[in-house]
Amino acid sequence: MSSDFYNSYDQECFCDAFNGTRKPDYRSIFFQDRDRIMFSPAFRRLQAKTQVFQAGEYDFYRTRLTHSLEVSRISESIALWLRAGHPDVQVNTHLLEAISLAHDIGHPPFGHAGERVLNRLMKDYGGFEGNAQTLRILTRTIYSRTKGRSGMSPSRALLDGVLKYKRLYRDKGEDHNHFIYDDQQEILAFCFGEENLTAKLNTSDVNRFQSLECQIMDLADDIAYSSFDIVDGVKARFLSPDKLQAWRESKGSNLDELQGKYLDELIDMIKKNKLQPLMNGVIGDLIQSASVQPEDNFMTSRTHRHGFRLERKEPARARIKLHKTLSRELVFGSSALHQIEFKGGQILTRLAETLFDNYIEKPAEPGKPAKKPALLVLVPTEVHGVVCEATATQERARLLCDHLSGMTDAYALRSYKRLFDPDYGSISELI
């Protein structure tokens, strides 16, 4: 691999009070990035976090962990495909793997329902977003230390690759998601040398400004969940030839010629009981739909990572759009998944509200004093200590949100039972 595609600017590591200077190592910077993520507790917890179906319900269905591994492998395949057609585009596969493995570590338990719950409860404290939480983990909380938590001193290329969204919470307007936290403006400055990307790019749509590695990860993510959600949906009997044909009869007028062709192919795959092997071939076609074009912007003089725009052929766009629509309407939109999602949201809501009531002082009502928190020890001792040491209300809320978002589905359920189920509470259950 050419060594001049990445320079010292790409490999410089983020250092501040939470991130120390890296020591020299026999591994490359990007190899270290990959290892630090792969061997972290935040990454391991993905094995018990919901992707589509509740984690642990059945052995077959994907979790956030298996999804992240699949995104990692697809990303590398895209990089190899691009390298074959564009020898000057020497994307580092260790860097891509690190970005792919990290891209979902900020997601909370119970899937998107959990994300919505935490964002609502954090409305007055800076919001919650999975991508923003990923950045917070990488730069603030991934390691447990004697005196609290710290970040992993990530490289600039890794942070930029994970940084799918670049709009700050205070600039989100009426949108509910796709932002990073306001105090992560320093990460924007580190990655781009600019805090105000809107002015630099002359557009408010700063989320579209992505490094080549981020674009590759985003495509790999689209390919993975649009394809494998279909496979899991068929296995769970949410999708069948009859259901797909009925859906076609009700939605057929909205399908273009390509989507109609791909729907026929999908129905035929299921009828022949060859969906899994044939879907692997579809994924190969989607990977080979990618190409790059030169890009010119304010970052191209500093790094090759912003010198290219990833493009997708129209047939790939049509197939991915079809798969996403089928998953959204027939799987995610089903009564069964809505009920499970609702239950997970209720569990996390009651847990979060209880912790916020216990640890965060309520604003004073007219004519009444502010409500002091009870400060019972309702979280692990080390978390309780850190939260109690925090004097600012917003900081306490963010620390509680770190704890809640870091829970696996099973841990959140156990915590709920421990606090609210009268029949759950023996010494063995508390361990």
CATH at 20:
1.10.3210
Q: Are residues 149 and 230 in the same domain?
A: no
The percentage of residues in the chain with a pLDDT greater than 70, rounded to a whole number, is: 92
What is the model's pTM? 0.92
Same-domain status, 219 and 267? yes
Same domain, 206 and 260: no
pLDDT at 1 over 50: no
Q: Is the pLDDT of residue 370 over 50?
A: yes
Is the domain of 345 the same as that of 273? Answer: no
Return the SS3 of 235.
helix
Q: Tell me whether residue 249 is in a domain.
A: yes
Q: Which residues contact 165 (CB under 8 A, 6 or more apart)?
A: 129, 131, 132, 178, 179, 180, 207
3-state SS class at 18: coil
Whether residue 143 has pLDDT greater than 90: yes
Higher-scoring residue by pLDDT: 419, 423: 419
DSSP annotation of 287 reads H
Question: Lowest-confidence range among 41-55, 187-201, 372-386, 393-407?
Answer: 41-55
pLDDT exceeds 60 at position 55: no
State which of 173, 195, 211 marks the end of a domain. 211
Least confident of 12-26, 195-209, 347-361: 195-209
78 inside domain: no
Q: Are residues 14 and 133 in the same domain?
A: yes
75 in a domain, yes or no? no
For residue 36, pLDDT beyond 80: yes
Three-class secondary structure assignment of 303-359: CHHHCEEEEECHHHHHHHHHHHHHHHHHHHCCHHHHHHHHHHHHHHHHHHHHHHHHH
One domain for residues 240 and 267: yes
1 within domain boundaries: no
Q: What is the pLDDT of residue 111?
A: 87
Residue 341 pLDDT level (bands cut at 50, 70, 90): confident
End residue of a domain, out of 188, 211, 234: 211
| 399 part of a folded domain | yes
Per-residue pLDDT tens over the stretch 93-114: 999 999 999 999 999 999 889 9
Confirm whether 71 is domain-assigned: no
CB 55, CB 49: distance < 8 Å:
yes
Task: Say whether both 348 and 403 belong to one domain.
Answer: yes
Instruction: Among 299-313, 337-351, 360-374, name the one with the lowest average pLDDT.
Output: 360-374
Judge whether residue 380 has pLDDT over 50: yes
In tens, the pLDDT along 257-281 reads 999 999 999 999 999 999 989 999 9
Residues 207 and 232 in one domain: no
Single-letter amino acid code for the residue at 224: A
Checking if the pLDDT of 130 tops 90, the result is yes
Between these two residues, 241 and 422, which has the higher pLDDT value? Answer: 241
Predicted confidence at residue 2, as pLDDT, reads 43
Same domain, 151 and 277: no
Please indicate, yes or no, whether residues 205 and 252 belong to a single structural domain of this protein. Answer: no
| Total number of domains constituting the chain | 3
Of 278, 304, 335, the one marking the end of a domain is: 335
Lowest mean pLDDT among 47-61, 151-165, 270-284, 381-395: 47-61
| Residue 70: pLDDT over 90 | yes
Please give the C-alpha separations between residue 168 and each of 140, 180, 196, 286, 306, in angstroms, as whole numbers: 18, 5, 10, 32, 21
Q: What is the extent of the structural domain holding 184?
A: 8-63+90-211
Would 401 be classed as within a structural domain? yes
Q: Is 307 exposed, middle or buried (0-12, 13-18, 19+ CB in 10 A)?
A: buried
CA dist 19 and 280 (Å) reads 40
% of the chain residues with pLDDT over 90: 72
Span between the terminal Cα atoms of the chain, in Å: 49
Average pLDDT over residues 143-161: 91
Residue 427 is predicted with a pLDDT of 57
2 falls within a domain = no
Band of the pLDDT at 428, cuts 50, 70, 90? low
Q: Are 289 and 408 members of one domain?
A: no
Residue 239 and residue 386 in one domain: no
What value does the CA radius of gyration of the chain take, rounded to a whole number of Å? 23
- Overall residue count recorded for the chain in this entry: 431
